[in-house]
C-alpha cells in the first residue's frame, strides 16, 4: 500500500543561531588539557617500556577515560602498547592500565540514589 507523505500546514520555525559544536564545560576541559600537554617536557619516557622519545612519537593513554576531569589523568606510552591495552581489555584492567569509570571520583553520600530500593522493570 502506497502512503502519501504528511504535509505541514505551517513550516517549522528554524533557529538562525547555529548549534554549538562543543559545550562550554567541555571547551574549558579541552583548554586545560591542551595547556597540560604543552607544559609537558618535549622528551618523554614510555611508562611501560622505558623508551625515551619525543612526546610527538608517543601516545597519551587515559586509564580513567576522557570524560570531564578524567581527561587530565594520562601517561605517555608507545603506540604498540597503547593498542595492546585496548585490544586486551581484560588483561589491561587486571594490571591497572584501564581503571573503572568511576575510580577517583568522590561519591556524595548525602545525595539520595533514585534507583535504590526500586524493583526492576519487567
Model pLDDT for residues 83-102, shown as the tens digit of each residue: 998 898 888 888 888 887 65
Spatial separation of the C-alpha atoms in residues 28 and 32, rounded to whole Å: 6
Average model confidence (pLDDT) across the chain? 81
The predicted pLDDT at position 103 comes to: 53
Spatial separation of the C-alpha atoms in residues 86 and 120, rounded to whole Å: 32
Spatial separation of the C-alpha atoms in residues 122 and 111, rounded to whole Å: 27
User: In this structure, are residues 71 and 31 in contact, taking their beta carbons and an 8 Å threshold?
Assistant: no
The predicted pLDDT at position 115 comes to: 47
Would the pLDDT of 3 be above 70? yes
Q: Give per-residue pLDDT as tens, 33-72.
A: 899 999 989 999 998 888 999 988 999 998 888 887 888 8
pTM for the structure as a whole: 0.65
> What's the CA dihedral at 10, 16, 19, 21 to 10 degrees?
150
Amino acid at each position: 500500500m502506497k502512503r502519501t507523505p504528511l504535509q505541514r500546514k505551517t513550516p517549522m520555525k528554524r533557529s538562525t543561531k547555529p548549534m554549538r559544536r562543543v559545550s562550554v564545560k567541555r571547551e574549558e576541559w579541552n583548554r586545560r588539557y591542551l595547556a597540560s600537554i604543552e607544559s609537558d617536557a618535549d622528551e618523554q619516557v614510555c611508562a611501560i617500556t622505558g623508551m625515551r622519545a619525543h612526546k610527538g612519537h608517543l601516545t597519551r593513554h587515559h586509564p580513567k577515560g576522557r570524560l570531564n576531569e578524567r581527561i587530565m589523568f594520562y601517561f605517555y606510552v608507545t603506540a604498540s602498547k597503547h593498542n595492546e591495552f585496548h585490544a586486551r581489555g581484560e588483561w589491561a584492567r587486571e594490571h591497572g592500565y584501564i581503571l573503572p569509570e568511576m575510580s577517583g571520583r568522590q561519591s556524595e553520600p548525602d545525595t539520595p540514589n533514585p534507583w535504590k530500593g526500586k524493583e526492576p522493570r519487567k
